[in-house]
Chain A
């Protein structure tokens, strides 16, 4: 009997070993499970995993050596009628014959699948390519059918849709980002890399280095996530491309960390849920680097205090630095913040499903419809937002829209959810559309759900946009204020430079190695456009004394402090040009009441109330010479100069005209002499901070000690001309705001409607901070 049991154990062990396989040598697995070889399928067919093996098995604890073949379906799936892994797309009457393809890596050619048989053992490169191809085809087809569904809703229902009417007829194929073909590298050989590059049109799937070289393409959820980035790009670009086939398209995220980039990540996660309704992302490939992400509070990845209840939701902004895999850490990262959006969208999906009696599948389509409408409007660089609108209805103007979307009035949690809520109201929330169980989804119910995530940060639905002419024309659809229970709004005045005793105001870093690393990184990713020819290539004048000296590039981080009792989220500091001067002198009509007349403030006795005046905000960001010849936006930094024996603050061009240096020695010798001496580098002239706890600084809120780790998105970068005389004093007037700010976005003079876009060229929507320094040798 004992011998029988022993034999059984031995046989079971052999069987299990065969099933689970091994990964000796890293990339090899013992074939077992379904025999996946060309001779087992008909021409045109093969096998791939339609979800990752955690999803297919329901077992989160599978180890890295688990044999994928165990989870392949015995029944072959149709792959292609082509010998190569190339796919076409079609939507409505339009077709893109070369829509996507899959190759092994950047150096390889197409793999030829002889006799069109696509079944290969799971340890082969051929399998990985078929796997990536199947997952790509599935999500592209599903996306395009959902986009068509969304377009048809826009055409069929009497609401204002952001979809361009020419979405499927325009020669530039805006429904798929100019119809440009996407190539997937199924096994790029890049370590710990999964990326999407819209410029080279590549989805790069590498491998996880920590566990036997597990290939990322094995996990469809990651492939779907990367395609999610592509669909976000598609959605952001539809109106821009339909308007013009040439020029820039809007970005959803412009810094290493910002809320737009977080939304991009959250939406990309949601595209994984969109595919099959499964609520964890990356739970196969990414769990081995602690990067799997849940999309509902019910997930086992979460800490125990999180739950799918009103009080158990992951709340904005408290959870923006929450990493579910390491809940004790505070990590400022777009993927972590993005989970709030993914959770909200999944909760919304489930709510639509139950409230409107839809299947989960249809509810997911409905949510993507809302996302497409939202991004279509928010990314419109033609500045209309919908076909029949006049220019400047959204995103300021066609001339300035790129800067508005990325920097001046960027997409954040508030604006994204506000615009999405508008489309929710116009579709599911409108009874006459009969989209929810024959009637409307109750907007109070909707607002309560939004509020449970701390995202009910807007007081109106801003139905009329932010346009110069139309921005306050109404109608005004307001949020029921009693629905705002967990979402918190704070007055901007509570955001301060740390006022406490013996605390510093700004961090200045001028360490050569640090600054070189930051500058190189920013140039590589295209965030800054280079630096002044007056500064030495090797930053040799950077002396590391934490002061600003001639010839240096320095990083500046304001020591921001939250003087309120509520957490602030999405704190953003701007050092870009704005409308705050008159005739070369600083206006003192703003909240900072600076400078005094005796210190050189602009004369207010004449020329006020009209263009050029201090109390007139440029409607065109100083770009329209024909309509606003006297309006300019000015650099933030002024310089002190003795005028007739009196020390005054003047603009840099006034200083340079009086004291030099010669204009060819300016930081930009070719064009702009208005920031000849010091300037913030364009692209690094805005910075972002995830959250600030009550009565703390940002550094304290992130648990940063005396030697904090700083990301480039936290850093404003300033150049100081080598020709500045030591001792020269500068004062820079920075502007700041945050996402859950009560008076940074709402115009209390206009029923709490959104500020118009042009007003972000001025002072009203911001708290103003001063950075004063003396250049030292």
Chain B
């Protein structure tokens, strides 16, 4: 009887531990950190990640910065995750591996009746930065990336692991612009963008002149 109690106790303990760890998986959370990427000096194709200074953070999202300095980050962040993830509202068929599933027939993913189109890699963010900084000179722009959540997108030919991020582009002298995007969790490829900045006037408005020639 004692043994049975001990076994039950440890079973509950282990199950509790697993559930806790599961809930703490990075996919479940929203990144609080912005990561800054610039072109590596002298190498146009390589990007370097630099720790954003306080000013950089504030440039992007003062709220997060403020929360940090107020030392109330942990509590508020937990609440935010709860709000953003909103898992309690989702039927179980629309999430897997702590990722919400977007698109038609999410149950196919759970039943493993769908081809998986990619495998998440931890370098996805660097790969994304490389794409955004591709062909750019040093100091021309800085790219800030903040992950919001991890998801699974059902597509015509299968399921794709994706990340939802906010991208902010800082250009010298011409201000900032930004957008929200879905990113391939393996390659860092941008799949879709939205929530783009609307300018009354400002950056990125000038056209280019071209010569008219017959094709």
Contact = CB atoms under 8 A, between A and B. Distances in A.
B135 A537 contact: yes
A197 B195 CA distance: 7
A402 B202 CA distance: 27
A707 B66 contact: no
A245 B61 contact: no
A711 interface: yes
A172 to B, nearest CB: 7
A531 B135 CA distance: 11
Choose among B105, B193, B200, B201 the residue with the greatest number of A CB atoms under 10 Å from its CB: B200
Contacts of B199: 193-195
A697 B131 CA distance: 37
Interface string B142-182: 00000001010000110000001011110100011111111
B62 interface: yes
B187 A200 contact: no
Contacts of B196: 198-199, 251, 525-527
Contacts of B197: 195-200, 525
A251 B201 contact: no
A516 B140 CA distance: 13
Interface residues of A, number: 96
A644 interface: no
Interface in A235-272: 244-251, 253, 256, 264
A693 to B, nearest CB: 18
A171 B90 CA distance: 12
A646 interface: no
B106 to A, nearest CB: 12
B193 A526 contact: yes
A109 interface: yes
A529 B194 contact: no
Contacts of B58: 106-108
Contact of A398 (B104, B194, B208, B210): B104
Given A106-B62, A245-B89, A622-B156, A195 B202 contact: yes
B116 interface: no
A190 B175 contact: yes
Contacts of B20: none
Contacts of A399: 103-104
B192 interface: yes
B134 A229 contact: no
Nearest to B141: A524
Given A246-B102, A524-B169, A530 B194 contact: no
A4 interface: no
A517 B206 CA distance: 10
A557 B212 CA distance: 10
Nearest to B187: A670
A706 B195 contact: no
Contacts of A622: 156
Contact of A229 (B105, B189, B198, B215): B198
B191 interface: yes
B212 to A, nearest CB: 6
A103 B61 CA distance: 12
A511 B210 contact: yes
B103 A507 contact: no
Contact of A537 (B105, B134, B179, B192): B134
B89 A171 contact: yes
Contact of B44 (A108, A531, A537, A711): A537
A108 B66 CA distance: 10
Nearest to B182: A248
Contacts of B141: 524
A533 to B, nearest CB: 9
Interface string A498-513: 0000001111110100
Contacts of B132: 523, 530
Contact of A524 (B62, B177, B189, B208): B177
A518 interface: yes
Given A195-B199, A197-B177, A530 B134 contact: yes
B135 A247 contact: no
B104 A624 contact: yes
A103 B62 contact: yes
Contacts of B35: none
Interface string A295-335: 00000000000000000000000000000000000000001
Interface in A383-427: 398-399, 402
B136 A291 contact: no
A15 interface: no
B207 A194 contact: no
B166 A200 contact: yes
A508 B211 CA distance: 9
Contact of A245 (B86, B134, B189, B191): B86
A110 interface: yes
Contacts of A671: 117
A475 B199 CA distance: 41
Given A245-B84, A530-B134, A507 B44 contact: no
A158 B178 CA distance: 42
Contacts of A530: 131-132, 134, 189-190
B208 A171 contact: no
A710 interface: yes
Nearest to B136: A520
B205 A256 contact: yes
A199 B179 contact: yes
A484 interface: no
Contacts of B84: 245
Most B Cβ at <10 Å: residue of A398, A537, A714: A537
A210 to B, nearest CB: 12
A82 interface: no
A226 interface: yes
Contacts of A335: 200
B75 to A, nearest CB: 14
10 contacts: A193-B175, A194-B199, A197-B195, A200-B168, A264-B198, A508-B213, A537-B45, A706-B212, A707-B209, A708-B209
Q: What are the nearest 10 A-B pairs in CB distance? A: A526-B193, A526-B179, A529-B190, A537-B135, A194-B200, A546-B213, A198-B195, A199-B195, A197-B197, A509-B210
Given A524-B169, A526-B193, 17 more contacts: A193-B203, A195-B202, A199-B168, A200-B61, A225-B200, A226-B200, A233-B195, A247-B151, A249-B194, A402-B192, A514-B210, A523-B134, A524-B204, A529-B192, A537-B134, A555-B210, A710-B210
